[in-house]
Structure 1
């Protein structure tokens, strides 16, 4: 088994031009005394949308690593793969996010469920695990219900993992199991039952991505009850620590937070838990880098600003098309989207302020940011016009990419050092729901 590092951070790079700028943020954090391993991730869906291929992710990352003389670990994630999509990722990835969301809820056979429950009597009763906010009370019927919900998905994860390991060798694979793209969150008791099933399936999972309570919308802050998330995250960490000892799962096993970019109100909570428990973390971002490219091109003015405005106008005309694949992870109030003529009249700094996620800036518009987040294939339609502008404005775009990763993400998560946007983020997250989760 290829052991994952304690702290890893997934960075998406839609157009494979920002790996160097991203790596700079990790260098800055290392200079602060904290090593976090970059994991470049891109899903099959994203490759399809922009017309790229999996080897391009590895090539861009390797070029940045070589150019900057990065001698610490780094990985390339085959993001949200399934058995039918994994093959192109095998030669160029060492981290595999195994997505079994489609199989969740499809019941296993009654015989398999009964055998699982009989095999794990320790899951039934009042469970006192170190670090829990309260004991877990689990009945046999609840174990049966969770097994019915997840056992088939876990077996599918085992099938996919064994296929990957059979091709690459287990010593070259980091396995993550993703269950976050579902309708209902997994509670800590459910996570414990799922981990027992994963151990039975003999998958050496090193990160697991559950769905947490609340909304993890793309490119904007968390919406939900912060106190509930704090309890849930801490209890999940305790459950993982117990499962490692109880079921012989890898000692490197840790939580993975998907759609983790821009969840500013959660970072102090996560930092406190990691600092208190010594647990590891994988947090995955994706479209944030593409948004920073738009911000940088806007700031650059000229042709870059003109193209940014064209991209917004096209996205506004095709809002239904672009939002449909992401309907469960965006909340856009269309009445809050400015018309194309309003955006056309903006200066570069004005448009940048609309898109940049600074909650202290009165010009920031989370609805515009979310729409642009899911509209990256508009830039792909422009082909070399877009990528040539990225090259021509590499310094200003790269500066936005690095600053966003280092100041807004890595420092709050791993150093507990806030950035100016965070002071209002926690209040905004709670106020948006009246303190209730959604």
Structure 2
């Protein structure tokens, strides 16, 4: 169907907590277009973030539309109802055209025995030796293995089907891009598990265009990847092969691609991602989320004066409420509290010291990953400041926007999508 909304090959998820940086974010995509590669923006903001900040998805839509108009962007762009479920999808239906269906909490909840039996009977091709083009060693399974994977994931996929059909009823066919997310869970899915999951998704008739598995290693918010890069590389390439196989054999959309959640600042794996998609012709969605909020704080600190004072206030409040701020993000942060600077120490810092501790330049001896992660989850502090924080952003718009654009363009888009 030609009128189906279609996500292009390369896309980047850009969170904008306070709906002030859409233009600066889009400028990074404009830079990519000038360099010869189309990377389309997907503005994402979760129900949790809207609730904490007291905002509505319609404001995110308005900011995105205004940025597109201001920069004359004539390529696709999307607004993501991020990590939604049946309970939270309502307010996202009208403004959003990309839905990240989050069923991580349903992983491991056993499906009905009859449904598992039916799945195994329907998919004899998954039992035994499974040869997939692009994977040197075939997957070797038996019925017990396939049954075990189905028992672990089938219930989650069925829940995704319910959510998809609810969105479909509200939005209409072909009017949105569906993604299924399984990343915010404890254990990674192996490539053979991903293949079985994709078979189940096809059975549920959910035409996903992206899927976000949990990869091996730690994908902590806003900091470097922690894990074996060689292992990630193999896994990523095998996942791409599993997707291509599933598209061919199960009738999933031909533009189905991997979505790398918590993908911001995972510098050590960017070359592997770039090389894999270049070699195979596959697409990829890189989700950067809260890194823009960090660039706002960096910009304010860099501005000095009242901007630096607000940045210090954000840290002081975050430090005193650290446990509360960290709790919702426990699976995607790793903060060593004993390595956090004291509030008194930070209050004595210059702009250079604050920016050096926060900006993700690992060669800088001032850089502190614990400090960066705490501020990453501390946007609630700025939300409580109300107009004071937003006025500071507007007063320092030029320096903040420069940081936002440079971060997305230089540190993310260039290495992932251009291989530079």
TM range, normalised to the smaller chain?
Answer: over 0.9
Match of 2:178 in 1: 175
Cα distance between partner residues in 2 of 1:88 and 1:133: 46
Q: 2:417 aligns with which of 414, 419, 429?
A: 414
Q: 2:322 aligns with which of 304, 311, 319?
A: 319
Number of aligned residue pairs: give it. Answer: 417
Match of 1:249 in 2: 252
Match of 2:211 in 1: 208
CA-based RMSD: 0.7
Name structure 2 gaps, 5 residues minimum. none
Once the two structures are TM-superposed, the CA of residue 133 in structure 1 deviates from its matched residue by 3.9
Match of 2:300 in 1: 297
Cα distance between partner residues in 1 of 2:330 and 2:177: 30
Q: How does 1:221-236 map to 2 (within 5 A)?
A: 221-236=224-239
Q: Deviations over 1:207-245 (max 9, x none)?
A: 000000100000100000111100100000000000000
DSSP 3-state at the match of 1:79: strand
Match of 1:98 in 2: 101
Match of 1:353 in 2: 356
Length-normalised TM-score, structure 1: 0.94
Cα distance between partner residues in 2 of 1:114 and 1:35: 44
Cα distance between partner residues in 2 of 1:218 and 1:148: 30
Q: How does 1:13-412 map to 2 (within 5 A)?
A: 13-412=16-415
Length-normalised TM-score, structure 2: 0.98
Contact 1:261 1:285 in 2 (8 A): yes
Cα distance between partner residues in 2 of 1:389 and 1:414: 33
Cα distance between partner residues in 2 of 1:349 and 1:20: 26
Name structure 1 gaps, 5 residues minimum. 418-438
Contact 2:99 2:177 in 1 (8 A): yes
Cα distance between partner residues in 2 of 1:356 and 1:238: 36
Once the two structures are TM-superposed, the CA of residue 394 in structure 1 deviates from its matched residue by 0.2
Contact 1:237 1:255 in 2 (8 A): yes
Contact 1:97 1:175 in 2 (8 A): yes
Once the two structures are TM-superposed, the CA of residue 269 in structure 1 deviates from its matched residue by 0.6
Runs in 1 of length 4+ with deviation above 6 angstroms? Answer: none
Contact 1:131 1:238 in 2 (8 A): yes
Cα distance between partner residues in 1 of 2:174 and 2:189: 30
Cα distance between partner residues in 1 of 2:415 and 2:136: 24
Cα distance between partner residues in 1 of 2:175 and 2:135: 34
Contact 1:337 1:367 in 2 (8 A): yes
Cα distance between partner residues in 1 of 2:273 and 2:263: 11
